Structure 1
Amino acid sequence: MTDQSIPEARVSEATPEEADSENVVLKEGDSENATPRAGVSRRALLGTAGATGLVLGAAGAGVGYAAAPAGATPLTSLGTDRAMFHGKHQPGITEVLQARGHLVAFDLAAGAGRKEAAALLRRWSATAERLMAGEAAGHDDTDVARDAGPSSLTLTFGFGRSFFARTGLEKQRPVSLDPLPDFSSDHLDKARSDGDLWVQIGADDALVAFHALRAIQKDAGSAARVRWQMNGFNRTPGATAHRLTARNLMGQLDGTRNPKPTESDFDQRIFVPASGAKDPSWMANGSYAVVRRIRMLLDDWEKLSLTAQENVVGRRKSDGAALTGGTETTAMDLEKTDANGELVVPVNAHARITRPDQNGGSAILRRPFSYHDGFEADGAPDAGLLFVCWQADPLRGFVPLQRKLDRGDALSKYIRHEASGLFAVPGGAAAGEYVGQRLLES
């Protein structure tokens, strides 16, 4: 797998040093560097509402989902965590990884164009804002998440290459949306790849995530139809005594060296600048998402000894430390040899090949979900990684890394890329705006 496939580091699950900030969010209007503040959830509000209930949201939103007895103490604060819809960037990019995820692509219906797309994005944005605040979806809510809080729900929207021809906006299509090149590990199913529109949904509660998925699908109405949809998961927050780097389905720590927002060059690597010659102005503060469904050939992988698995990856399975020693975050010594003069980290080890200093500084922000879609007739699991990575420019991020992996990654033998997509994700919507408004009303 690529270290795009097995993220070697991540923002989404904080390091132990960052764990104190795990359950906080920014309020609307705060800058991205502001001090985070605790989110307020539907559940927390309802706990103080008494038996008479509570009206939530904007005028006309209706009565809140439930009324808790006065003085009721919630079992956990997990459901109270809230991400903000409005901001400089869309949600779902730099937030901590959520326990449940859905990826879904839509194609515009026959005859639908720019006008219908604008109306759809307006509906989706309104629904996303409400659901992320822990409110009902609005008209015709399904009540699936009636008893839950926001649960760190995020919804993120993007445009595929085909969207621009369908809406007569070809002149506004970014060069960065040019098709990805073919790679040797590709066995792509076109029916589960690409799409006019893409939506990423994440939450810490499965019902909250499904509620959002169903609301988005219903909002599409006659304007768009589902092209493909995939379901994923991660470790549930609170399952460990303190926050740890996630493990993927191969049992490896997955996300040790992701770029972090505190790094000085984070924004220039991950987000499109507000002004630049390459990208159209509507993409300011946006990012490009590469989405890959990567099957892990687990039957073959699990036949390997522990030592063989660690040599494939270049890191210890127990704690994610490099084979050259130290802790998970200790720098890898690429020149260290053993008593026989052999490199301790093999030349084709995944972690060696994907290091930014081995790829001209190329870096991506990996934010994946694991998936399991049952078993094949021979008993082999259809399982792996819903790989999502973010970058300001895929030709400087994902593409050079994947090309390098194509030339000799030891992990390639144990994975297969089965679906692929590339989407332009515009910057966040300001208060009163909908996502993509600067494109669709330009």
Structure 2
Amino acid sequence: MSGCPFGGGEHDAGAAGSAAQAPSAAAAHAPAPASAAVAAATPTQEAPASRLSRRGLLSLAGAGGAGALAGLAAGLLSHDTLAAVAAPAQAQAGTGDVVPFHGATQAGITTAAQDRLHMAAFDVITEDRSALIQLLKDWTAAAEAMTRGREAGTTGAVDGPYDAPPEDTGEALGLSAGKLTVTFGFGAGLFEKDGKARFGLAGRRPEALINLPHFPGDDLQPNRSGGDIIVQACADDPQVAVHAIRNLARIGFGTVRVRWSQLGFGRTSSTSRQQTPRNLFGFKDGTNNLKAEDTSLLQEHVWAGAGSRPEEAWMQGGSYLVARRIRMHIEIWDRTSLREQEQLIGRTKSEGAPLSGGKEFTAPDFAIQGKDGEPLMGMDSHVRLAHADQNNGVRMLRRGYNYTDGSDGLGHLDAGLFFIAFVKDPRTHYVPMQLAMSKQDTLALEYLKHTGSALAAVPPGIQPGGFVGEGLFT
């Protein structure tokens, strides 16, 4: 279903052939030109040394016996030897499954889309600015550790006091980093509540961080919408992604509470040179999505500028995250003919080619007519309405996932698409397109229902020694 089904479309007709190979994990969130100044202005600090745990000490003794312990006591063992023992076993397997946490932009945006998602929204339940800042520092440290395949906290899951709760929940012990990325964003509620500024952030809310309008056909549920802080954890292992959100929630107890969360599987877009996946309607999804290799297009459509006011400069090099929970009427779709399915989408189900002809990555031709004189790609087809040519050239970077949350108690699957997109400015890069589609797209009108919605300002990347959102508070 091409660039952006159910709310953001065929917005990059030329992206598919823009690069010869995928970027490395380190290059997946390389600095964009506009964010270079942010990175340069942020002080750096050497990463803390690995701790030598009781388990590591015992393993050292097992490896070298009393002589090794004597060497440890005398300070004769090499730094490399100590580091190898101190590092968790899963981190010693190599760095191929580790996505760098630090950078000019946050990981989890242009990073090659992983297979699993756990996203959560938190409400901040304190009005203490210092407590919020400390939480963000603690979350930053925990996220950085977990993305390297390490445990959260200084004593982890089993090395702390026996009669105290562990600092890590432990379900990821023995698992690799799984290409985990943890991406943070701030909702409008962090800046003001009941018309009053919060945490000394008066005037710091970006103008682009709007309250999304109620689109026609929306059936939004309060317990699936909004949130002061949005956290996206993506990984190739579902347990790794769940572990990340669970530990952040544990660390935040008393300062934040979970407002909603969503599990996702089977990515519905590709953000690099990946095979095009399929959504739960069975159609290829994300054919013409923006790619990490399209640096100039990312600068134009994804990375935020400094804003129109000095108070917004902290967002330069960041982006805006749009999240929409879109339930599919699976049972109705499954009783729809293949002909009608393809006409609604505007692409073939097998190849993913536009109905105007060609193959998957062939640009659609909206002018071609059929024997009846009508366009081969219907005026209400999803591809036509979502295409960049129909939306003032606007494009976005999507990172959506399929979801299945059981049944609704009436024998219907509660399943669909958890739509995620990163845009430069939601006022121009999302709202107009969604308004048009919600009124004209037959697919959206008859087969989809939006039940959750959130928008967050995603700050630029984090430097060693810094914390997420540091520019906002300093």
Identify if the C-alpha distance between structure 1 residues 393 and 86 changes in structure 2 by more than 3 Å, giving closer, same or farther: same
2:145 — aligned with what? 130
Distance (Å, rounded) in 1 between the aligned partners of 2:274 and 2:449: 30
2:122 — aligned with what? 106
Q: Which amino acid is the alignment partner of residue 66 of structure 1?
A: A
Distance (Å, rounded) in 2 between the aligned partners of 1:96 and 1:28: 7
- What is the CA distance between 1:32 and its match in structure 2? 6.0
Partner residue of 2:205 out of 157, 161, 173: 173
- What is the CA distance between 1:278 and its match in structure 2? 8.6
1:226 — aligned with what? 258
Partner residue of 1:340 out of 372, 384, 389: 372
Distance (Å, rounded) in 2 between the aligned partners of 1:236 and 1:271: 22
Written as runs of structure 1 = structure 2, the 5 A alignment for 1:80-91 is 80-91=96-107
Identify if the C-alpha distance between structure 1 residues 370 and 259 changes in structure 2 by more than 3 Å, giving closer, same or farther: same
TM, length-normalised to structure 2: 0.79
Q: Cα deviations across residues 353-392 of structure 1 (Å, max 9, x unaligned)?
A: 0111111112221111111000122211000011111111
- Relative to total residues, which structure has the larger helix share, 1 or 2? 2
Written as runs of structure 1 = structure 2, the 5 A alignment for 1:399-414 is 399-412=431-444, 413-414=446-447
Secondary structure (helix, strand or coil) at the match of 2:184 reads strand
Contact 1:64 1:136 in 2 (8 A): no
2:460 — aligned with what? 427
Distance (Å, rounded) in 2 between the aligned partners of 1:352 and 1:278: 39
Identify if the C-alpha distance between structure 1 residues 10 and 60 changes in structure 2 by more than 3 Å, giving closer, same or farther: farther
Identify if the C-alpha distance between structure 1 residues 202 and 345 changes in structure 2 by more than 3 Å, giving closer, same or farther: same
Any unmatched runs of 5+ in structure 1? 34-41
Secondary structure (helix, strand or coil) at the match of 1:170 reads coil
Contact 1:7 1:256 in 2 (8 A): no
Contact 1:114 1:168 in 2 (8 A): yes
Written as runs of structure 1 = structure 2, the 5 A alignment for 1:227-376 is 227-234=259-266, 243-263=274-294, 264-274=296-306, 276-277=308-309, 280-376=312-408
Identify if the C-alpha distance between structure 1 residues 218 and 280 changes in structure 2 by more than 3 Å, giving closer, same or farther: same
Secondary structure (helix, strand or coil) at the match of 2:343 reads helix
Structure with the greater alpha carbon radius of gyration? 2
Q: Cα deviations across residues 328-362 of structure 1 (Å, max 9, x unaligned)?
A: 11010100011221210000000100111111112
Contact 1:155 1:200 in 2 (8 A): yes
1:438 — aligned with what? 471
- What is the CA distance between 1:30 and its match in structure 2? 6.5
Secondary structure (helix, strand or coil) at the match of 2:114 reads coil
Identify if the C-alpha distance between structure 1 residues 10 and 64 changes in structure 2 by more than 3 Å, giving closer, same or farther: farther
Distance (Å, rounded) in 1 between the aligned partners of 2:234 and 2:29: 22
Distance (Å, rounded) in 2 between the aligned partners of 1:273 and 1:204: 31
Secondary structure (helix, strand or coil) at the match of 1:288 reads strand
Distance (Å, rounded) in 1 between the aligned partners of 2:367 and 2:417: 31
Secondary structure (helix, strand or coil) at the match of 2:440 reads coil
Q: Cα deviations across residues 71-105 of structure 1 (Å, max 9, x unaligned)?
A: xxx8xx9x932211111111111111111111101
- Is structure 2 residue 177 aligned with structure 1 residue 147? no
2:68 — aligned with what? none
Distance (Å, rounded) in 2 between the aligned partners of 1:29 and 1:398: 22
TM, length-normalised to structure 1: 0.84
Distance (Å, rounded) in 1 between the aligned partners of 2:121 and 2:399: 18
- What is the CA distance between 1:302 and its match in structure 2? 1.0
- What is the CA distance between 1:19 and its match in structure 2? 8.4
Q: Cα deviations across residues 270-300 of structure 1 (Å, max 9, x unaligned)?
A: 0112465497011110101111110001111
Distance (Å, rounded) in 2 between the aligned partners of 1:61 and 1:179: 49
- What is the CA distance between 1:8 and its match in structure 2? 5.3
- What is the CA distance between 1:204 and its match in structure 2? 0.2
Secondary structure (helix, strand or coil) at the match of 1:116 reads helix
Contact 2:90 2:177 in 1 (8 A): no
Partner residue of 2:108 out of 58, 70, 92: 92
Deviates more, 1:417-426 or 1:166-175: 166-175
1:66 — aligned with what? 89
Deviates more, 1:255-264 or 1:404-413: 255-264
Distance (Å, rounded) in 2 between the aligned partners of 1:323 and 1:230: 34
Q: Which amino acid is the alignment partner of residue 170 of structure 1?
A: A
Q: Which amino acid is the alignment partner of residue 283 of structure 2?
A: Q
Contact 2:7 2:434 in 1 (8 A): no
Secondary structure (helix, strand or coil) at the match of 1:321 reads coil
Any unmatched runs of 5+ in structure 2? 34-49, 51-55, 65-77, 156-166, 193-197
Contact 1:7 1:258 in 2 (8 A): no
Secondary structure (helix, strand or coil) at the match of 1:102 reads strand
- Is structure 2 residue 183 aligned with structure 1 residue 156? yes
Secondary structure (helix, strand or coil) at the match of 1:105 reads strand
Secondary structure (helix, strand or coil) at the match of 1:309 reads helix
- What is the CA distance between 1:10 and its match in structure 2? 9.6
1:39 — aligned with what? none
Distance (Å, rounded) in 1 between the aligned partners of 2:223 and 2:106: 27
Contact 1:56 1:135 in 2 (8 A): no
Distance (Å, rounded) in 2 between the aligned partners of 1:356 and 1:65: 47
Distance (Å, rounded) in 2 between the aligned partners of 1:432 and 1:306: 55
- What is the CA distance between 1:65 and its match in structure 2? 3.6
- What is the CA distance between 1:255 and its match in structure 2? 0.2
- What is the CA distance between 1:6 and its match in structure 2? 6.6
Contact 1:52 1:67 in 2 (8 A): no
Distance (Å, rounded) in 2 between the aligned partners of 1:28 and 1:301: 36
Q: What is the root-mean-square deviation in Å for CA atoms of aligned residues?
A: 3.5
Q: Which amino acid is the alignment partner of residue 463 of structure 2?
A: A
1:196 — aligned with what? 228
Q: Cα deviations across residues 410-429 of structure 1 (Å, max 9, x unaligned)?
A: 21110000011111110011
Q: Cα deviations across residues 246-279 of structure 1 (Å, max 9, x unaligned)?
A: 1111111110111234332321210112465497
Identify if the C-alpha distance between structure 1 residues 406 and 181 changes in structure 2 by more than 3 Å, giving closer, same or farther: same
Distance (Å, rounded) in 2 between the aligned partners of 1:93 and 1:245: 17
